[in-house]
């Protein structure tokens, strides 16, 4: 017998939700055949069969959250000799059962019900099984009155059921004015992650507006040359440049060892809204990649997220997170929750054309975008957050300065 347990499938996970079993009890499985889908706080993963055999038993129901190390199901691995023995035992058991059934049937036939021929006729005409009637005559003989008494009792019970049925239906209808949505799987994992972040991190959110007019003009120039790059790719690269200047926002707080660990590599989580909830695939090594590479990788990861084909490596290792809610219509601001154990998250909101007073005291129509930056106030102060967003805005409002940093 082989036990299939929930094992750690990445980054020290402690539990997962059983989403769906891909096999049934008694089903033959091969080595590495997927047995069950589980939902961690990052992704849906499959647990394969460690050996060839038959599913002997399934212990944990779907929808339940279990800890790492819990036995989910068991496999019965069989040798040729074992299979022959089991088949022989099954054949013997079937023969014994058939013989026992025949004897029981014959014994039942021999057991006579005491009733007169006329009483039996009454029972036949009314469809009454005499085996269900309690006889009150000598030696338990069933009389005519016993049959009629049984019929009357059955009719009374049927009338009671009919009279109460409409009331029960109405009660069910009147009480059932809600729709139940299961709170499990990815939704439950997102909830646990958000609560963990809010309970652990001292959240503080800084708001800023940025003029993206010049950056949008650069994008239009690139389009004329057949190059299409999303504005978000520019934002990500500018944030990476800002993190080099302010590495405190690309860090993790190690409370146990009383230190802040600055991460030298920039791995950005990209929040993606899917039908099943929020997922955050990660673009690795932003600091070494071009804006075009960032755009292409972000596009590929977003597609995988929407198609539910992200792998564990696509979802792990993030050091900083961004959320682009502009396309969804988020135009003013928000207080985004930090992706624990990171220390900062930036959300980009909808770009709008607005009249703006320029440095020359002239009014001009400019494309303005609001951003919300949530940061861990245990690790950084508000003044540092303002300096960080100002440094980021410098590259967005003057793209030529960004090019100088990339040379």
Residues classed as catalytic: 377
| Total residue length of the chain | 407
Residue 24 near residue 43, CB atoms below 8 Å: no
Phi-psi region of 112 (alpha: psi -120 to 50; beta: other; left: phi over 0): beta
Q: Of 199, 200, 205, whose CA–CA distance to 254 is shortest?
A: 200
Distances from the Cα of 222 to the Cα of 216, 219, 230, 388, 399, angstroms: 10, 5, 11, 28, 13
Q: Are 391 and 245 in contact (CB under 8 A)?
A: yes
* Residue closest to 281 by CA, chosen among 299, 258, 262: 299
Cis check for the bond before 355: say yes or no (omega within 30 of 0). no
Hunting for tokens 């014959």 — which residue is that?
Answer: 106
Distance CA 133, CA 157 (A): 15
Count CA atoms within 13 Å of residue 3 on its CB side.
9
The two tokens of residue 377 are 């106030």
Q: Measuring CA to CA, how many Å separate 20 from each of 40, 86, 235, 363?
A: 13, 30, 39, 60
Count Cβ atoms within 10 A of the Cβ of residue 123 and give its class: 0-12 exposed, 13-18 middle, 19 or more buried.
Answer: buried
3-state secondary structure at position 102: helix
| C-alpha span between 342 and 74 (Å, rounded) | 38
**Helical (H) or strand (E) element with 272:** strand 272-274
């Amino acid at each position: 017998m082989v036990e299939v347990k929930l094992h750690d499938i990445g980054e020290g996970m402690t539990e997962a939700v059983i989403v769906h079993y891909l096999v049934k009890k008694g089903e033959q499985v091969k080595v590495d055949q997927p047995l069950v889908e589980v939902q961690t706080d990052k992704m849906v993963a499959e647990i394969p069969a460690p050996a060839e055999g038959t599913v002997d038993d399934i212990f944990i129901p779907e929808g339940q959250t279990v800890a790492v190390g819990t036995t989910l199901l068991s496999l019965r691995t069989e040798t040729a000799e074992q299979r022959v023995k089991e088949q022989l035992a099954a054949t013997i058991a079937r023969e014994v059962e058939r013989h026992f059934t025949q004897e029981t049937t014959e014994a039942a036939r021999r057991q006579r019900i005491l009733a007169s021929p006329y009483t039996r006729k009454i029972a036949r005409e009314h469809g009454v099984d005499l085996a269900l009637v309690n006889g009150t005559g000598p030696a338990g003989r069933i009389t005519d009155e016993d049959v009629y008494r049984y019929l009357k009792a059955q009719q009374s019970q049927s009338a009671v059921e009919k009279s109460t049925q409409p009331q029960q239906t109405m009660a069910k209808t009147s009480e059932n004015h809600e729709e139940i949505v299961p709170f499990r799987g990815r939704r439950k994992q997102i909830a646990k992650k958000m609560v963990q972040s809010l309970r652990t991190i001292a959240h503080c959110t800084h708001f800023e507006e940025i003029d993206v007019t010049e950056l949008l003009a650069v994008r239009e120039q690139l389009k004329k040359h057949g190059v299409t790059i999303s504005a978000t790719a520019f934002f990500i690269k500018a944030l990476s440049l800002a993190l080099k200047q302010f590495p405190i926002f690309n860090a993790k707080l190690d409370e146990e060892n009383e230190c802040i660990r600055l991460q030298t590599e920039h791995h950005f989580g990209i929040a993606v809204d899917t039908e099943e909830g929020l997922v955050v695939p990660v673009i690795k090594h932003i600091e070494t990649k071009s804006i075009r590479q960032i755009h292409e990788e972000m596009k590929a990861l977003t597609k995988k997220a929407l198609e539910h084909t992200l792998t564990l490596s696509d979802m792990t290792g993030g050091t900083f997170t961004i959320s682009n809610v502009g396309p969804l219509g988020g135009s003013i601001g928000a207080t985004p929750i930090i992706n624990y154990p990171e220390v900062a998250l930036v959300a980009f909101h909808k770009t709008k054309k607005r009249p703006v007073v320029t440095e020359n005291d002239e009014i001009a129509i400019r494309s303005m975008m609001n951003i919300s930056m949530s940061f861990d106030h245990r690790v950084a102060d508000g003044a540092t957050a303002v300096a960080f967003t100002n440094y980021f805005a410098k590259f967005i409002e003057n793209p030529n300065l960004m090019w100088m940093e990339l040379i």
